[in-house]
Structure 1
Amino acid sequence: MSFLLLLVALMALLYLGMPMFAALFLLPLGVLYWVEGGVPALGEIVIGKLDGPLLVAIPLFMLMAHVMVRGRVVDDLYGAAFALLRHVRGGVGIATVAACTIFAAISGSSVATALTVGKIAIPQMLRYGMSRRGAFGVVAGGGTLGILIPPSAPMVLYAYVTEASVGALFLAGLVPGLLMAAMFAGYCFITEGRARAPADDPPPERVHLALRRAGWSITLPVFVLGGIYLGVFTATEAAGTGTLYAIVIAALIYRSLTLRDFLEGLGEATRTSAMLLMIIAGAAVYGYMLTKLRVPQELVELVAFWDLSRTEFLVAMMVLLFLLGLVLESFSIILLTMPAILPVMATLGIDKVWYGVLLTLSLEMALISPPVALNLVVIKAITGAPLSEVNRSILPYMLMLAFGTALLIAFPGIALWLPRQAGYAG
């Protein structure tokens, strides 16, 4: 009950217009002054939370994404997918899913995936007979793969908060991410059969040329993830070397990244990272308050009182995460919920890697659910379509994500098999 009251109080502050980092600082400070008369060692709490090398990986992965986006590498990714799949039933939609899947492995951002792929893919899909609703839906749904298919900044933050293995989380997200991509492609195949290029339509370029141009960008996620899994470098080192590799690809091989593009991407990554670090600092004080008020112990006792099974607890948490995702972004949700529920997960024997993938799927559903659906806002900005029309396009993809979440709850091995094979999870 205390946790819900504190959550409602925090939502009220945000509704009144207070920035997230300020609300995370002021609410716990006010509560702790009222309960204990002060907050000793506030500086140690904040610095202790920010003093971790893994946090450096997040801004570096963000910079890597900005370099690839501003270097317009995704043009060739979509071109290769379109050249290969354009004549297949529903091929233009399937090509968009394929481009989103590959770009998700480069950018690690759902919004960036929807924005960048959508600019290129939506006009092509409409040109080749795909319905407006179908075109909007596949970009919004495909964009959600950005935070599930590794590398993923939210997964790095989750690993930092829970002390889970980043490599295990990245591997665990791979099979569910590809499964969701297959569902999206299958839906396009079934419902948008007319959306393909005519047999006599000349290709934009030869398939082998398109694949050769896209080949360098496809090697980026292989380089980053392969280095982590083979033990060549840590996640932080992978982010740094991956960023350098992205600069080489965009600036020297593609010759599409200017100094101005790089500096603008660097500035954007810096601003986003600074905001995130402020939220993490506030979340450290928030977590300290939860511990002092014995909120984690209360949740454990509540679960025991209601005799909740592991599945019942997970379903309840997925609903809560989805509701929080309607008004908060993913980083804030991870930082707000994990300090309270980690002890409950330990009591119920819930694998942290498995839960991390379930959490990510719930956040993906929230990304395309009104009222605060960033992927839908991006599509409205690209197309100028009414938001009501864009909103209607997303229902099938929400249902598929919900089905994928239920499947993962019922069969944890979908996520855990690959990390176990690699020796990460027990």
Structure 2
Amino acid sequence: MMEPTTVGLLGILLLFFLMIFRTPVAFAMLLSGFFGMWALEGLRTAGALILTESYSAVASETLIVVPMFVLLGNIASAAGFSRGLYDAAFAWVGHFRGGLASASVLGCAAFSAVSGSSVATAVTIGKVALPEMKRLGYADGLATGSVAAGGTLGFLIPPSTGFVLYAILTEQSIGRLFMAGILPGLLLMVLFMATVWLVALRDPAQAPAGPNVPISGRLRSLGQAGPLLAVMVLTIGGIYVGAFTPVEASGIGAALVILLALASRRLSWAGFADAVMDTLKTSAMLYMIVIGANVLNPFFAVTQIPALLGEGLQGSGLGPYGTLVVIILVYVVMGMFMDGLSMLVISIPIVFPVVTSLGFDPIWFGVIAVIVIEMGMITPPVGLNVFVVRGVAQDVPLTTVFRGVMPFLLAMILGLVLIILMPQIALLIPNTMFG
């Protein structure tokens, strides 16, 4: 019989082989974990693992957060509430040079607080913002880059699906992770807006100023965006003050948005059905990923690969922060070829024991991991958000979009360094709230 470590390495090779041939990541993990456990413990144990983990993985009530927040975002988009968020941001900052790009970032940040999805945020705001920026003569690179980068905030600002998966994989508090994402999300938003200002300062022709909206128009735009903003404040604020749990907040938020959409007669039955169907598809994908991860993780544990990796890194003499840099660099390389959720579910079971053994706060590392994964969403050659925005702006070459996101990628690196140097940026709110 082969050594467990050898079987583990073969299992990892099988995992990447399946993914290279476009097997969905959930089934790639499921197959690698099942056949790996079969090789080590026998068919009976492998079969029992799939049965028990498939049930226990999705039986947890904490997973209700995913479909409820996804439904909230889909209903808000179908009812046109997302347009109100962008219009409000445009009314307040659009008259500055580069203001439309800054409004796109603000709109992305606001919509992130109801969608929890990077791709949904980029698509929703991109459909509204990109035609406006094109009409006013914005450079294609800045226009698409601001939307692609702003969309990544959907993976960080709560309710983030990335944090939900991280919490499930590491048995951490979803509430603490949601709260930990608020200040880093706002920090990246400010850095993105500063990037737009610097690009406009360097080359004013790339970012002309928009029309100046009178104060009455600005207040009216806030009123139109008010209902959705109120839902955002209620759900996230309710978690913060302890009025309800993240699971309860997700249900309350989804119900309120549906009621608002119906009361304002902005949602047709066809639009509602489409939103529900999109929610089912997204939720099924995420649930399958959770099941796959719960089959793969016990296999990794039996092979002792995470423990051996931890011992190797600790014995390398790099120190805690040197080891952290190595982990981040590995994430950066993975981000060039894999999507964010795949990176998260494959890597966390391996690197999390290493991180905790080095004495790093698991909530703080969750924020670091999510930000690095966000960076992967706009880096070549995969850059999922870049391809999503390219799909909205089909007349813009892909190379132009990648060039446009580069300044924003530098801003993300700066934000990451600041959070590493000052962990309280991520930990202040959860530590204040939970003690």
Under TM normalisation by the shorter chain, which class is it? Answer: over 0.9
One-letter amino acid of the structure 2 residue matched with residue 347 of structure 1: S
Displacement of 1:178: 0.8
Displacement of 1:371: 2.4
Displacement of 1:22: 2.2
Q: Distance in 1 between matches of 2:102 and 2:288?
A: 40
Q: Distance in 1 between matches of 2:111 and 2:254?
A: 15
Displacement of 1:97: 1.4
Q: What CA RMSD, in Å, does the superposition of the two structures yield over aligned residues? A: 2.1
Q: Distance in 2 between matches of 1:269 and 1:66?
A: 7
Taking the TM superposition and a 5 Å limit, the aligned residue runs for 1:167-186 are 167-186=175-194
Which of 229, 233, 236 is matched with 2:247 structurally? 236
1:26 is aligned to: 31
Deviations 1:168-207 (A, max 9, x none): 11121111111111111111122225434466x6669811
1:7 is aligned to: 12
Displacement of 1:5: 5.7
| SS of equivalent to 1:422 | helix
1:48 is aligned to: 56
Instruction: Verify the 8 A CA contact 2:117 2:160 in the aligned structure 1.
Output: yes
Change (3 A) 1:412 1:382: same
Q: Distance in 1 between matches of 2:231 and 2:431?
A: 24
2:298 is aligned to: 288
Q: Distance in 2 between matches of 1:340 and 1:278?
A: 20
State whether structure 2 residue 275 is matched by structure 1 residue 262.
no
Q: Distance in 2 between matches of 1:29 and 1:203?
A: 63
One-letter amino acid of the structure 2 residue matched with residue 15 of structure 1: I
| SS of equivalent to 1:350 | coil
One-letter amino acid of the structure 2 residue matched with residue 165 of structure 1: S
1:379 is aligned to: 389
Instruction: Verify the 8 A CA contact 1:86 1:196 in the aligned structure 2.
Output: no
Displacement of 1:286: 0.7
1:189 is aligned to: 197
TM-score by length of 2: 0.91
2:410 is aligned to: 399
Change (3 A) 1:190 1:144: same
More deviation, 54-63/406-415: 406-415
Change (3 A) 1:209 1:222: same
- Percent identical among aligned pairs is 36
Structure 2: gaps of 5 or more residues: none
Q: Distance in 2 between matches of 1:22 and 1:152?
A: 23
Which of 302, 308, 311 is matched with 1:301 structurally? 311
| SS of equivalent to 1:393 | helix
More deviation, 240-249/383-392: 383-392
Q: Distance in 1 between matches of 2:63 and 2:146?
A: 32
Q: Distance in 1 between matches of 2:322 and 2:150?
A: 29
One-letter amino acid of the structure 2 residue matched with residue 278 of structure 1: M
Instruction: Verify the 8 A CA contact 2:98 2:209 in the aligned structure 1.
Output: no
Instruction: Verify the 8 A CA contact 2:91 2:213 in the aligned structure 1.
Output: no
Which of 72, 76, 89 is matched with 2:97 structurally? 89
Q: Distance in 1 between matches of 2:223 and 2:136?
A: 25
More deviation, 307-316/269-278: 307-316
Instruction: Verify the 8 A CA contact 2:26 2:288 in the aligned structure 1.
Output: yes
Q: How many residues align?
A: 422
Change (3 A) 1:403 1:198: closer
2:371 is aligned to: 361
Change (3 A) 1:399 1:6: farther
State whether structure 2 residue 356 is matched by structure 1 residue 346.
yes
2:340 is aligned to: 330
Instruction: Verify the 8 A CA contact 1:83 1:205 in the aligned structure 2.
Output: no
Taking the TM superposition and a 5 Å limit, the aligned residue runs for 1:119-268 are 119-193=127-201, 194=204, 195-197=207-209, 206-253=217-264, 255-268=265-278
Which of 423, 427, 433 is matched with 1:412 structurally? 423
Q: Distance in 1 between matches of 2:381 and 2:260?
A: 38
1:37 is aligned to: 42
Change (3 A) 1:302 1:268: same
2:327 is aligned to: 317
Structure 1: gaps of 5 or more residues: none
Change (3 A) 1:28 1:129: same
| SS of equivalent to 2:315 | helix
Displacement of 1:77: 1.1
Change (3 A) 1:92 1:119: same
